[in-house]
């Protein structure tokens, strides 16, 4: 898996509090009006290494950061892209077992009812799922966590 960006301290992508946010690479939805087309390719950005995975776990457990809520997995790009599933599943399992009290939010362009078995395994470990493509005709800037990805 590749990723575009990582914010070790983020207060925007998720519920109130401080979060770690990972923006993964690779998206096959091709939504009209997507403002993240540079994230569609699986090979854009940086390689998601073991060191990066370890850093996220360490950041989530960093007690110097107050009100650390959890991990946000976002794009553009899609954490549930089939090519990203192994790495994302490994990461969320570690968060579940090693980061007590931290929640996981995940944004995807896929729809919950249409997920594959492997995608459902990831979602089962997630606290909040924001699903579905970006629909330009329904774009509403007042929506807090959906309507963008
Ligand atoms: S799901 Fe997000 S990144 Fe993918 S095409 Fe749609 S808006 Fe763009």
Residue 148 pLDDT level (bands cut at 50, 70, 90): low
CA–CA gap between residue 29 and residue 15 (Å, rounded): 26
Measured between alpha carbons, how far is residue 62 from residues 4, 14, 37, 71, 147 in Å?
Answer: 23, 18, 33, 13, 31
* pLDDT confidence of residue 48: 98
With a 6 Å cutoff on the Cβ, whether 36 touches ligand 1 is yes
Mean per-residue pLDDT over the chain, rounded: 92
With a 6 Å cutoff on the Cβ, whether 149 touches ligand 1 is yes
Residue 54 pLDDT level (bands cut at 50, 70, 90): very high
Mutate to test the pocket of ligand 1, among 2, 29, 73, 111 (most ligand atoms within 8 A of CB): 29
* pLDDT confidence of residue 147: 62
With b for 16 or more beta-carbon neighbours within 10 A and e for fewer, the 5-42 pattern comes to ebbbebeebbeeebbbbbbbbbbebebeebebeebbeb
CA–CA gap between residue 92 and residue 96 (Å, rounded): 6
Measured in Å, residue 131 CA sits from the centre of ligand 1 at 11
With a 6 Å cutoff on the Cβ, whether 30 touches ligand 1 is yes
Mutate to test the pocket of ligand 1, among 3, 28, 76, 137 (most ligand atoms within 8 A of CB): 76
Q: pTM of the entire structure?
A: 0.93
Q: Is the pLDDT of residue 47 over 90?
A: yes
pLDDT tens figures, 61-116 = 998 887 789 999 997 789 999 999 999 999 999 999 999 999 999 999 999 999 99
């Amino acid at each position: 898996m590749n990723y575009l960006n990582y914010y070790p301290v983020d207060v925007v992508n998720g519920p109130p509090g401080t979060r770690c946010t990972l923006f993964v690479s690779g998206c096959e939805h091709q939504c009209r009006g997507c403002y993240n087309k540079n994230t569609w390719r699986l090979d854009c950005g940086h390689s998601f290494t073991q060191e990066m995975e370890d850093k996220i776990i360490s950041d989530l457990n960093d007690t110097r950061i107050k009100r650390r809520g959890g991990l946000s997995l976002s794009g553009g790009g899609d954490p549930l892209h089939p090519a990203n599933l192994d790495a994302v599943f490994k990461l969320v399992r570690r968060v579940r077992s090693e980061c007590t009290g931290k929640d996981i939010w995940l944004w995807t362009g896929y729809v919950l009812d249409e997920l594959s078995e492997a995608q459902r395994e990831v979602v089962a470990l997630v606290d909040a799922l924001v699903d579905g493509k970006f629909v330009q005709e329904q774009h509403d800037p007042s929506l807090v966590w959906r309507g963008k990805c």
